[in-house]
Each structure stands twice: as structure tokens, then as C-alpha cells.
Amino acid sequence: MTDHRDMNVDHRDSVGIVSLTGEMDIVRAYDLREQLLGAIRNEDLGLVIDLTNTTYIDSVGVSLLFELAERLSERQLRLAVVLPEKGLVGRVLTIVNLNSVAQIHPTVDEALGAIRAE
């Protein structure tokens, strides 16, 4: 398990799980990009990003998720995002139609199951 400030990286079987806490904004974007891309191992089926404890996301954070989805797709890997049912981050990501490039799930376990099932 690796900790980078407000980011926790774990792996279960062949799926990386990244839990983000706090804000996903322009201030953190560069570091987050490097850390998220670094969380993917060659043997992984995909990546789960848990935004349950993310309190804010700006346009740079949104762009980062879309970029990550594209990069994973190029490697034939899947992306699943865990969003709480209520909250600003979930509303923003619904408005920008994140589910067009990533699976959206309410829990990490459901996201893991979906990635493994494909």
C-alpha cells in the first residue's frame, strides 16, 4: 500500500484501487496525474478510483479523469469510479457525462466486481 498525501493506492488481485481524499483541482493535478498513472501495473485488468472522500473537483480534475480513461482504454484496461450518491463531486461528474468513458459505482466492491466481470 502506498500513501501520497491524500491518496491511497492498493491492489486487489489484478485491479488497482486509488482512494482520493480532499480536493481534485489544479493545485494537485500534476502530482495526481503522475500518481494515478503510476498506480497501474502491467498485470492489472483496470483501475478503480474511489472519490467517496473527495470534496471538490474542478475542470482540471474532470479533464484528468477523462485523460486517464483514454490512456487506460489505449492499453485495453478498464476504469471504474466510485461516487457517493449525493454531493458536489457526483453532480459535477454526472453533468460532464463521465459514465461515457468510465463505469460509475456506489462502492469499491461493486466497481471491483464490474472490472473483473468484463
DSSP conformation letters of 76-94: T-EEEEE--SSSHHHHHHH
CA dist., res. 7 & res. 9, Å (int): 7
Q: Is 87 exposed, middle or buried (0-12, 13-18, 19+ CB in 10 A)?
A: middle
CA dist., res. 67 & res. 112, Å (int): 21
pTM of the model: 0.91
pLDDT of residue 5: 57
Mean of the pLDDT values across residues 3-11?
Answer: 76
User: What value does the CA radius of gyration of the chain take, rounded to a whole number of Å?
Assistant: 13
pLDDT of residue 103: 95
pLDDT band at 7 (very low <50, low <70, confident <90, very high): confident
Q: How many other β-carbons are positioned within 10 Å of the β-carbon of residue 14?
A: 13
* Residue 36 β-bridge partners: none
CATH number of the domain that residue 18 is part of: 3.30.750.24
Residue-wise burial string across 23-57, b where 16 or more C-beta atoms lie within 10 A, e elsewhere: bbeeebbeebbebbeebbeeebebbbbbbbebeeb
Question: Which domain, by its residues, includes 38?
Answer: 2-117
The count of structural domains within the chain is 1
